[in-house]
Structure 1
């Protein structure tokens, strides 16, 4: 049985916060290899001293606070991020609300009031480029310099590279925008995934012999429009059932060129999924979205896409993100 994953928020009573924990600190959008290096350092520090290890993160993402009108393509919303963090072996997460008050908190006050006073941390793991506090004055070097006086341990992780390219959330967003799934998967250590509720669509797929489960993604999703091999998770935790399929993400130029929609055709599945929540992991990019002259041409291409998706999925039998459960 997986250990319980505790989520601590601003309103959590101090009496319920385990003092002496180690924290991995960061925004953790995507929980990619660079983030996982910080998390691994926190877990190791916790094991060495017999302390629980938590992630410390901020919601909404600070970019949303500082640039509220700028579209933000998040790799993981809060819930997806927490589910990924819960799958790393951490004991829990501290989710701090990022608002005007938090943005105006000095780095020293954040260290002394939040990290030491409220959380009572015994150790901190952080990435080399993480900054905090008003004006982003707080830095890994500040934490290192303060550590002896505060009686805590600080571990600063260097950047992680793949083929001499730094791993970052922005690099993953760019890869997804270009349909470079192999590159994104390598940086994430697992396929990128989305979660959404199945909604009613125009039901054209049913008439074409390809009934789809339709999910509306975030309006700022920057995934390249096209056809993908996907693996879908239905249910949660150890009871989750995995299903393979092929999916289209885009505007359906053959029909209405409407708002972007994720349309998933599940292989060898019959049943009603309306209103259910599905996790959809993107395993392989097949082709760009196209406009067809007629239905027969579209169906013929869909047959080819399905065959290609089956081949890609057969070559990646275990590809799926490791997700924990949260309350």
Structure 2
């Protein structure tokens, strides 16, 4: 998959293409279905498949008071799209220029100009252009002018719930990790560079890998989660605390992961943590001994969970 950070770069290829448009935050089952359907349609038409998306979330600009919107880091977004067999990825920043571009001009300038576009694919609720005036109906109207085929994916539902990024955010904020996983089609993952903290876990007998959550990422309800941690391409069973460590009066939200049967020094390296199941809420304990006893019980529960459900 070739990646472009400017629409002008891809126009220089002079190829017949099909373009699928979307924010694709989370790359959930609905997004995956849309991109897979688009790739298959491009193969049917004998053209190259293009994903046109953003490196940030448009609502970070249109509604700056909203925070913690992103469900997926850019690096994972690229990986997930590549796995779907896409030929080209146009990954650009949603900025003031794009936000103020009229919808019809957006199609002409960013999609049609310089490219031989045979297919445009979108989700049923896709909006674009100034004041989000562009929609599938406008794309259908313009298809007659520009001569492309339009593919619109209808809502995808799982067990009666419509798959959407907003529904996944709601589940994560309520600690409903299994419900979020059902709509994502995979465990929810967070990644970060391991930093050297106060080493409180080590003092308690449970050394943890610690990293802060980006302020741009969706907030997860604080608590203790059964997890899997990926390090250098290998997954390990783990137990993860998302929260503020109230027993030690921590004020910043962080993730601490205790990797079972693991004793490597990994400060400064990248980890990805997949949240698999929720054990309990975060709690304040009156003594370190009381905290250790609860952690002992949490680790035992995690080991039992993996013995029963998820052997690696």
TM class by smaller structure = over 0.9
| Structure 2 match to 1:186 | 182
Mapping of 1:1-16 within 5 angstroms? 5-10=1-6, 13-14=9-10, 16=12
Mapping of 1:230-249 within 5 angstroms? 230-235=227-232, 240-249=233-242
Contact 2:240 2:257 in 1 (8 A): yes
CA distance in 1 between counterparts of 2:10 and 2:166 reads 35
Q: CA deviation at 1:270?
A: 0.9
| Structure 2 match to 1:87 | 83
- Per-residue CA deviation, residues 208-228 of structure 1 (Å, 9 max, x unaligned), is 110000011113541010001
1:11–1:109 distance in 2 versus 1, CA, 3 Å: closer
TM-score of the pair, normalised by structure 2: 0.93
Q: CA deviation at 1:108?
A: 1.3
Q: CA deviation at 1:52?
A: 2.5
Q: CA deviation at 1:204?
A: 1.0
| Structure 1 match to 2:310 | 316
Partner SS state of residue 256, structure 2 = strand
1:304–1:119 distance in 2 versus 1, CA, 3 Å: farther
| Structure 2 match to 1:216 | 212
CA distance in 2 between counterparts of 1:119 and 1:69 reads 37
Partner SS state of residue 247, structure 1 = strand
Partner SS state of residue 138, structure 1 = coil
Contact 1:43 1:53 in 2 (8 A): yes
Partner SS state of residue 69, structure 1 = coil
1:241–1:18 distance in 2 versus 1, CA, 3 Å: farther
Alignment size in residue pairs:
310
TM-score of the pair, normalised by structure 1: 0.89
Q: CA deviation at 1:99?
A: 1.3
Q: 2:20 aligned with 1:24, yes or no?
A: yes
Mapping of 1:74-223 within 5 angstroms? 74-219=70-215, 221-223=218-220
CA distance in 2 between counterparts of 1:269 and 1:156 reads 47
| Structure 1 match to 2:36 | 40
Q: Where in structure 1 are there 5+ consecutive unaligned residues?
A: 319-327
Select between 201-210 and 134-143 the one with higher mean Cα deviation.
134-143
CA distance in 2 between counterparts of 1:179 and 1:275 reads 28
1:61–1:219 distance in 2 versus 1, CA, 3 Å: closer
Q: 2:294 aligned with 1:301, yes or no?
A: yes
Q: CA deviation at 1:110?
A: 1.4
CA distance in 2 between counterparts of 1:103 and 1:29 reads 18
Select between 220-229 and 175-184 the one with higher mean Cα deviation.
220-229
1:256–1:73 distance in 2 versus 1, CA, 3 Å: same
Q: 2:234 aligned with 1:226, yes or no?
A: no
Q: CA deviation at 1:15?
A: 6.0
1:250 to 243, 259, 270: 243
